[in-house]
Structure 1
Amino acid sequence: MDQANPLPTYRREMRAGLRDIAPIVVAAIPIGLLFGAVAAAKGMSTLEVMLMSALVFAGGAQFAAIETWIHPAPIATLAFATLLINARHVLMGASLTPKIRMSRVQTFLGFFFLTDEAWALSERRAMERPVTGAYWFVMAVVLWANWTLSSTLGAVLGLFLGDPERIGADFAFTALFIGLVAGFGRSRVTLVTVAVSAGSRPSCISSSGPLARGLGRARRHRRCLSCRSQGGALMSLDTTTLLAILAMAVVTYITRIAGLFVADRLVLTGRAKAAFDAIPPAVLVSVIAPTALTTGWPEAIAAAITAVAAFRLPLLGTVAVGVACVVVLRNLI
């Protein structure tokens, strides 16, 4: 029936993409606003912030870049740092490529939008069915538009934004990723992978390391925003800044599509296939661990409570529990 009339299936896939990405969109808004405010405090114009978010679209790399941003922008240094931070995209792309139902051209285009969140949702969906182009593009483009708009708005508002820790917004992504890990089930492979990944030094490959540091530095920037100019003119565009943004964007895209070529050369069976299937929870735990295990007792306890809730609640409910717990615990401990 679906082959005779593919439109209903197409619409179902689009609705599924919107449904799955909705909690992540909510969690991403305060982080995008924060990035825009920090970037503006560093002297970037609203147009430059918008271009970086739209072309690079990698929160960890963007926060890391802003953390050390100077004028003129050090293009080679920023490109190399972006390569190191986004190297995990190679594994993510290689893991996801066999599970998507898109043409080669669609995949090359679609992987521009490859992020931790879109990839994790797709891996979870691939446990039940192939990932279609309708599902991927709706989910990924909505997240891209949300990140671009929220960071641009953050650059405009800047001074008026409050401390994200006050409402637990900085913990939203940690809670979100805990919920995504729970979605991969309680198999022995998943549990062993989670334990090993959490016990390693994941901040070396995780986007949460730069993100957590960026959040901390954002609070320090906010204290002196009132005595600094709010970036340049709204629509000004410095040539060196543009070249730095383009370099970061190109390096990020290369890491995203490199997994396609890796997947073409892999023939996995037996234990090798099981190990490769363990990549999703391993990468997600590497994103969670720096915040959940090394930030402080409130975050560690909130992460444990969120993990329990993740097996009983939908994704948005898990995020809400995590944020509420970290707010309460920070006021008590």
Structure 2
Amino acid sequence: MGVERNPNLVEIGRQIVKKCGGVPLAAKALGSLLRFKKTESDWMAIKDSELWKLSGDDNYEILPALKLSYDHLSSCLKQCFTYCSIFPKDYEIDVTMLVRLWDAEGFLKPSDGQMDMQQIGQQYVDELLYMHKALHVISSNVTLVRALHLKSCPLRSLPDSFKKLKHLRYLDLSSTDLDSFPPCISTLQNLKTLNLSQTNIKSIPDSIGNLCNLSTLDLGYCSHRSSLPESICALSNLHTLTLKYCRDYFFHKLPQNICNVNRLVHLDIHGTQLTCLPRRLGKLSQLRTLPIFICGEEEGCSLAELGSLKLEGELQIKALQRVTSSCWGCGTLPVLLFLTPGLPT
């Protein structure tokens, strides 16, 4: 029986509306919650909640409504929703990247059906959109800060006091004026996401290997004057490594043991000047994003490495003149495949 045909639900709904005190945001938040509730007991539980007794500020009607809508989310959605609080108000979030971040944190619950993680994440996004648009949390204790958005700030360095941010999990330094890797970052043991894209950082130190919980590292559009250190291969939780458009001539190879980062899912090397790839990339069984594969002549660099991968999206194959056999393996090929005879000059 629909809500519109159940007079009891209609009456309970009216009482809930009164508790919202005429505040549209409170009514909207609870409306998005009640649309999934079909029984009188569910509606009564919301109407009679102890949270309505909250008082003490001008947001009396709003806070209980928001708290109720949050409390009735599934545990997975609660984690995803709370994670969104790291973004500033009115920040334009890229849904694909957001889903990847959720996936890297282990927030997405695998489906019993045929949906992949991107589809599951999109479903989460759609459900959360029924709720209100923003939750922006600011901690009064700076040492407890978990997220810092410093994008486009005119920063040339970071103070040593950053070492005190032991709980920091998300750090966005993209498009800043940094020209060297701040040593204090390497002390942030709980850091999970580090965005250094579009900076002038010339090299990444070995100390980056200390970030044992790092799952997302974005170095896109940087002008590296040296290759990445082998210590990156010690980041056992690394899920996403973005090197997009790192075009500097000196940045021409990846760490040789990158194949040991067995949780790596996204390796974006689009637009780089790489001349070869490390051996045994086929060992990265979780890898889904690899836009470019560069054929090599030595063992472990042949097209056969693609046989054990289940890549998604586009794949460009370069240096085909190095291919000496027609072995492609038996893996799942990407949706779109581009073949390039040689490397760019």
**TM-score category of the 2 structures, normalised to the smaller one:** under 0.3
Question: As a proportion of its length, which structure holds more strand?
Answer: 2
Decide which structure has greater helix share.
1
TM-score (ref. length: structure 2): 0.21
- TM-score w.r.t. length of structure 1: 0.22
